[in-house]
Structure 1
């Protein structure tokens, strides 16, 4: 009986037996007592711990070092978030070993504990396994957009200059900083680039449209030769952005019609004669017993829009326009035709307002209609005058009237 117990004890002390008690300098792995890292060895099999080699003693492979208990090898290179102590995070650029609070649960209760982990230094962020410093101002060098996130008004790194740049739609650059642009026309400004509305300038400390633009509802619309980038930058259905990057008059003749080549605009001015069908014209309303349509004609070298009327007890038509305080009757004129044209009191933009002609400064006349102040059953058609486009000038009974309430003719 004594011999049997002695044999059990002996088996617990040799490889393959129990690992509850290994000899000094040995560690229990896979039910065997094996040398720990640093113990003497004669062959690779004497070092069963992963990532170890035998070099007279068991040691970790290159780029790794023993754990504190020498039971496994850990990498020399720390990463952000790894546990650490002292200066172990120095292998990560711009990182430190810092104590943080960690929330854990113990038997259902939340417990706060502390541990030290590798973290980026203050004002740095992790990028490609290293900590990169945020740029402090627009003169600092950058390679990644994220480096610019701490600068107000900048979210982008210019890859040509390797410097942070302002968001030009909302901010402008001055004194090495991004300053917010003035949002609306006629608000105060202090820098030539300090106005947000497109094609506006800071003039006399106020945001205003440039000299080649016309303002309407806080938008600057381009006139002839104004700089543009798209058709909608140009005022009316007949001005569009040309290949030169400026607004051009794109009306052109096609037989007895004048068309506009502005994208998505379909209308025509028909040279009126005895073969013209009045029903093809744009209907404006009733003028007492008869209907009126939209026309335009030349008077005193100006192309002016007006109302097309049939003479009473006659077979011919006239185009009535307003010039100064008179109502000239034109026998030669054009009639407007187009199925996509609508009369609107609001909710329109001037890039789709129908071009009716131009004044002495070559600024467009637009087309308006309104009710006569006295004869409420009569609609009158006139011209909307630049630059404000807030007054409808319409002829009636040899007199010219001025209206603040009106509809404007636009292309849908």
Structure 2
């Protein structure tokens, strides 16, 4: 069983607001922050929590597709603008579609293990509210195999892909029960987002969330098997965190009780040029999570909080099954019966997940880690749940494309 050769920690996370429709600050015709503003805010939010930026050895920035949405590439060279102490520090940019943030975290862990860095600033960013949704959908289709799939794909490419997954799940396990579970997923997501001031759906005042989630899909206006409430929104935002060795924590003046230790890392890729064999399973997600369980030497029964990748409500159900919290075809049951709620057996996406918090794609994996870190170290504020001694571990699942790149991590409060 492969283990981490030395302790590695995450600490000092910072999230910007997830900005987009639903936030009172958002207006499509008014100026809004760009990449530079989000990168600077998130980076400085982390630096304000450490002793001195000069102790940062390396920077890693995750972003999916700023070259299309913002006509800006070469994002690694934006890290030095955060603080003058970062000028001439080695920096790199990573991309793995919506799993870009998870890849950045994994690369930071490897840098610390390789002893090329003791302190890595990990930052993710995406600004997507720059074009109309239909054009953005085409840009995001680059997370699939564009050459083979785009021409015959739905105009809303990824909603179309996960609509197909939902349709296959309806056929195999029942449309009525699955739609009901997806409605409960939506309601749970918004309820959790209302506890987090930076969530995109924080200000959502709808009184009957289940009725919204139960709305029938409209194939003429959208896709066959999903309604708009099944979908994560277009979001702008950034997230940043420190990855450090034990020596790095000491140098930064970070107390152990404010940090989490990385116990397991699972990364898995599948062939982007091939279609999934079974639309009702997330096999790459399952493989990544199993790797994380094995490295951490923990079971799913020891997981106290989960941040999983619910780009669509059906994805949430599929990910619960892939992570082993429900048998195949039973993911919806544990959502409907309340197991995944804040006070349930396995609380999931406590600030709303992608459906409720928002999905600035390059930042999502880092935001997930920050939220898990805050939970297991009791720093989650109004979003805090009870993490018992029998379930002290947090699990993250960050998925890119149609289950083609996945990074999963398991952490616990540092000793």
> Per the shorter chain, which TM-score range?
under 0.3
Give the TM-score of the pair, scaled to structure 2: 0.18
- The structure with the largest strand share of the pair is 1
> Larger Cα Rg: Structure 1 or Structure 2?
1
Greater relative contact order: 1 or 2 (C-alpha under 8 angstroms, separation 6 or more)?
2
Give the TM-score of the pair, scaled to structure 1: 0.18
- The structure with the largest helix share of the pair is 2
